[in-house]
Chain A
């Protein structure tokens, strides 16, 4: 079961801040981030790559997206 960060409804830059905070906690593995705008999807993906995480999957979900990012141990 991977960590889920729900950022739906939150505006820029909260989704990125929450993602980075969670990254610091878990360090590696899988993380799912739920977003509800395309802007947040792009920002979270960009921030994840900049931190050396891989964007493994992006699935449409409700009115937004479910982004899975991964860092191998």
Chain B
């Protein structure tokens, strides 16, 4: 059977659907210019579980669970579920940690970078430039033979672990629902103020997450791959989806009056141009060395890729470090500790890129 969603028009439509839904999620309650932000939402999940205690970013975002479970459903429906693992998991874990730290210094993953742009936040331009540079460095390593090695097939139940964990999170949320004005409900933390307190109704977030997970699994939507394939192969396939997402979100923002252009006073953003840039250089490099943007890692973990799941767990740990050690930026800007973390992260990624290559 031909995979319609993996055609040029397929990926453009998927990008547009994601862009429109992301913009609408903001309308339905998600934070401004953050309809979907995989890094921010994983960070909020980390906070909801109490692994970091930054009170303004704690919410068990159902979109994240939806992404994994939607992909899981699509993979099973189309017989693409392939339980596999074993391609340098510890390296992928570290890349997840540093990708998250870089993203939280900019304040957004590639998805949010274009959503911020589509909402008129010009600081996102610096972030996107950083993303391009980070991925460009990554393609240099790929050209030079960088390779984390092959996976091997494993038991079906191994591929089920991460989707089951996500389903478990959903159950925990159902049994520990948000109580208005309370910072804690049973096992979970809930922000009373700040971005973590802003969210669309649970059922909407979950359904949108499931739909995007399903579409993205089938279309192989990837924001890092979009830029990587353009730089490495001069191929515009995934890039078309990325541009389509941006334009669709921009048009939707105009229609529902969510477009506010400028640099200053943008929601959940800061104006330290260099650190917006540098944070995303780190994130972009880490994504490209790991072979996928944070969204793609969630979708892959839903279709049985245990190494992608390890990357996501790395992101959770990275988010905990970022907030426990004061690395994450705020509206006031990047922190000195965050700046140091960017330097350490870049050094680690370069070491990975230089040392893990086959002789060609």
**Min C-beta distance of A13 to chain B, whole Å:** 7
The one of B147, B152, B228, B305 in contact with A14, judged by C-beta atoms closer than 8 angstroms, is: B147
B193 sits at the interface (CB 8 A) = no
Number of A-B residue pairs at CB separation under 8 A: 54
- Residues of chain A within 8 A of B213, CB atoms compared: none
- Residues of chain B within 8 A of A50, CB atoms compared: 233, 235
By the criterion CB–CB under 8 Å, are B150 and A10 in contact? yes
Residues A8 and B150 in contact in the complex (CB < 8 Å), given A42-B3, A47-B235: yes
- Residues of chain B within 8 A of A29, CB atoms compared: none
Main DSSP-derived SS at the A contact region: helix
A16 to B237, CA, bound (A): 14
A12 to B6, CA, bound (A): 15
Give the number of chain A interface residues (Cβ < 8 Å).
Answer: 21
Residues A13 and B229 in contact in the complex (CB < 8 Å), given A39-B220, A42-B220, A63-B82: yes
Give the number of chain B interface residues (Cβ < 8 Å).
Answer: 28
- Residues of chain A within 8 A of B153, CB atoms compared: 36, 63
- Residues of chain A within 8 A of B291, CB atoms compared: 11-13
The one of B6, B78, B149, B360 in contact with A42, judged by C-beta atoms closer than 8 angstroms, is: B6
**Min C-beta distance of A6 to chain B, whole Å:** 9
A38 sits at the interface (CB 8 A) = yes
- Residues of chain B within 8 A of A43, CB atoms compared: 220
Interchain Cβ contacts under 8 Å between A and B, 18 examples? A9-B84, A9-B87, A9-B150, A9-B152, A10-B87, A10-B149, A10-B151, A11-B87, A11-B307, A13-B232, A13-B233, A14-B147, A36-B82, A37-B82, A39-B220, A43-B220, A47-B233, A63-B82
B residues with a Cβ closer than 8 A to A are 3, 6, 78, 80, 82, 84, 87, 142, 147-153, 220, 225, 228-229, 232-233, 235, 237, 291-292, 305, 307, 360
With A10-B150, A12-B225 known, 13 other A-B pairs at CB within 8 A are: A9-B84, A9-B151, A10-B87, A11-B87, A11-B291, A13-B232, A13-B233, A14-B147, A20-B233, A21-B360, A36-B153, A63-B82, A63-B153
